[in-house]
């Protein structure tokens, strides 16, 4: 069986083509709104997608060049200079080769880098403004705020479960409330241990099965096992 062909990639490892402008922008660290702006300004080059008849995909190299040319004012100036009429200079005794050399000033790599940095900084400011707006609207929250809320909720749940034995022991076994309190407390501690294991697993980036009890068996379970 023939292995599927590896999609073509650029020298920097990015795909040579992206299925959508949003995918292209997201891979560069920008938002969907930025992709929309690039497309509106003609900075994303779309070509026919042979794998999806009637659809188009993003040409990565061509789009990178369009964005770089847009961010570099020196290239735009060089283009304007090369498009100027040459009749007057030709009349003064210059041939076409002289005009082409004069209209293409050497690009300064330091200025290009500075212009690209300024454009990148502006785009990051726009992205941060979008995130701040979503936070104010309640659509997002900051990571440290989310962690604080989760910690408070877990602490409240732990304290409530630890009081369960004392609150329910007497009603669970009026004849021997101390025994009921001990049994309930053991089960609560076992469940809390299982919950701690699941939280650590989630924090490590793995999923957990809520139906699997990963805590150690209770004393009652050990007694039942020994009796069996």
Q: What domain range is 66 assigned to?
A: 1-72+107-140
pLDDT at 225: 58
Based on the domain organization, do 211 and 189 belong to the same domain? yes
Please tell me the distance from the alpha carbon of residue 178 to that of residue 186, in angstroms, as a whole number: 12
Based on the domain organization, do 30 and 111 belong to the same domain? yes
Contact 168, 187 (CB under 8 A): no
The percent of residues in the chain predicted with pLDDT above 70, rounded, is 72
pLDDT tens by residue, 4-17: 678 899 999 999 99
Q: Give the residue, 206 or 97, on which the prediction is more confident.
A: 206
pLDDT at 70: 87
Element (H, E) at 47: strand 46-48
Taking the whole predicted model, whether its pTM rises above 0.85 is answered as no
Of the three residues 118, 140, 162, the one that is the final residue of a domain is 140
How would residue 212 be classed by pLDDT, with cut points 50, 70 and 90?
A: low
Based on the domain organization, do 44 and 120 belong to the same domain? yes
Based on the domain organization, do 148 and 117 belong to the same domain? no
Based on the domain organization, do 41 and 128 belong to the same domain? yes
Lowest mean pLDDT among 1-5, 101-105, 163-167, 196-200: 101-105
Based on the domain organization, do 125 and 150 belong to the same domain? no
The domain total for the chain is 2
Please tell me the distance from the alpha carbon of residue 117 to that of residue 129, in angstroms, as a whole number: 18
Does 86 reside within a domain? no
For the residues 211-222, what does the mean pLDDT come to? 56
Based on the domain organization, do 134 and 217 belong to the same domain? no
Based on the domain organization, do 65 and 158 belong to the same domain? no
Contact 82, 99 (CB under 8 A): no
Burial profile 25-44: b = 16 or more Cβ within 10 angstroms, e = fewer: beebebbeebbebbbeeebb
Based on the domain organization, do 163 and 56 belong to the same domain? no
Does 85 reside within a domain? no
pLDDT tens by residue, 97-153: 444 444 445 667 777 888 888 888 899 999 899 888 888 888 888 888 878 877 788
Does 99 reside within a domain? no
Does 43 reside within a domain? yes
Does 98 reside within a domain? no
How would residue 46 be classed by pLDDT, with cut points 50, 70 and 90?
A: very high
Does 1 reside within a domain? yes
Based on the domain organization, do 59 and 151 belong to the same domain? no
pLDDT at 74: 59
Based on the domain organization, do 11 and 58 belong to the same domain? yes
Does 29 reside within a domain? yes
Choose from 13-17, 115-119, 180-184, 193-197 the range with maximum mean pLDDT: 13-17
pLDDT at 228: 54
């Amino acid at each position: 069986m023939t292995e599927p062909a590896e999609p073509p990639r650029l020298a920097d490892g990015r795909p040579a083509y992206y299925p959508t402008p949003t995918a292209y922008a997201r891979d560069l660290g920008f938002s969907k709104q930025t992709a929309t702006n690039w497309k509106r300004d003609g900075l994303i080059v779309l070509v026919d997608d042979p794998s999806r008849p009637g659809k188009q995909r993003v040409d990565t190299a061509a789009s990178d060049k369009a964005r770089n040319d847009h961010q570099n004012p020196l290239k735009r100036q060089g283009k304007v200079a090369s498009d100027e009429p040459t009749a007057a200079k030709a009349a003064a005794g210059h041939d076409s080769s002289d005009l082409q050399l004069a209209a293409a000033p050497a690009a300064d790599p330091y200025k290009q880098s500075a212009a690209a940095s300024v454009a990148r900084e502006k785009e990051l400011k726009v992205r941060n403004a979008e995130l701040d707006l979503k936070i104010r609207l309640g659509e997002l929250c900051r990571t440290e705020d989310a962690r604080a809320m989760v910690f408070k909720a877990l602490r409240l749940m732990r304290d409530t479960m630890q009081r369960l034995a004392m609150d329910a022991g007497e009603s669970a076994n009026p004849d021997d409330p101390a025994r009921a309190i001990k049994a309930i407390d053991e089960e609560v501690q076992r469940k809390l241990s299982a919950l701690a294991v699941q939280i650590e697993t989630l924090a490590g980036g793995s999923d957990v099965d809520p139906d699997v009890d990963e805590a150690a068996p209770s004393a009652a379970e050990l007694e039942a096992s020994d009796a069996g």
